[in-house]
A = this chain, B = another copy of it.
Amino acid sequence: MKHADSREQLLNAGVEALHSKGFNGCGVQEITEAAGVPKGSFYNYFASKEAFSVEVLEHYWEEGARRNLAVLSDESIPALARLKTYFAQRAEVHAKGHYERGCMLGNLATEVTGQSRLVRDRLAGMFAGWVRVMANCVRDARDAGEIDSDLDPKILAEFLVNGWQGAVMRAKVDRDSSAMDQFTKVVFSTLLVKHAEKTAVH
């Protein structure tokens, strides 16, 4: 196996292990076994399990989470529809996985930030990036008159990203769609609306 192949295999096995079991819940040996790479060679590729985890997180972000954000920037779709589509797509993925895994960012945020400054700093950057993309979409929706809010789009985006993390976390406990359904219902009937439409309900 070529050097680059082994490295990639280890990262893929790492995404699988870290996402399902967490940082402290999986060992280097099980990762090397899953990757089909000799245990002894792990440290040829990565300085430590911590350094490995940062690269695994990066891999998860670049190959998955960050790409999933693309719909939020797709200007061929109205901004409010982009927001709805984004959360609907995420909810669908969690449903397919029976809500077992949650989001790797959220999992590592609660588990490892006290233990690893490296992971914590990288997570902070990813969350900030996620919020940036979402804030642009919220701003687009406001500028297009699809929603009206006195709140800064960035604050709304922070609230949405964190609130979604909370819903994903709760879904891991209840193993059903309730938390995500409730999130969607509250957000799109109260936060991301036009007051004119909303008050007309009364």
Q: Does A46 lie at the interface of the complex (its beta carbon under 8 Å from any beta carbon of B)?
A: no
> Which size bracket describes the interface of A in this complex?
35 or more
Which of the residues B20, B102, B114 comes within 8 Å of A101, measured between beta carbons?
B114
Shortest Cβ distance from A38 into chain B, in angstroms?
25
Query: Once bound together, how far apart are the Cα atoms of A185 and B156, in whole Å?
Result: 10
B21 touches A114 (CB 8 A): yes
Task: State how many copies of this chain the complex holds.
Answer: 2
A124 touches B185 (CB 8 A): no
Interface centre among A22, A156, A173, A179, by most chain B C-beta atoms within 10 angstroms, is A173
Shortest Cβ distance from A25 into chain B, in angstroms?
4
B127 touches A114 (CB 8 A): no
Q: Does A199 lie at the interface of the complex (its beta carbon under 8 Å from any beta carbon of B)?
A: yes
Q: Does A120 lie at the interface of the complex (its beta carbon under 8 Å from any beta carbon of B)?
A: yes
Query: Once bound together, how far apart are the Cα atoms of A148 and B184, in whole Å?
Result: 19
Q: A151-B185, A155-B182, A189-B150 are in contact. Are A111 and B25 (CB under 8 A)?
A: yes
B189 touches A151 (CB 8 A): yes
B182 touches A186 (CB 8 A): no
In the complex, what residues of B have CB within 8 A of residue A170's CB? 109, 127, 158, 161-162, 165
A159 touches B173 (CB 8 A): no
Pairs of residues from A and B, 7 with the lowest C-beta to C-beta distance, nearest first: A166-B166, A24-B24, A162-B166, A163-B163, A165-B166, A159-B186, A24-B25
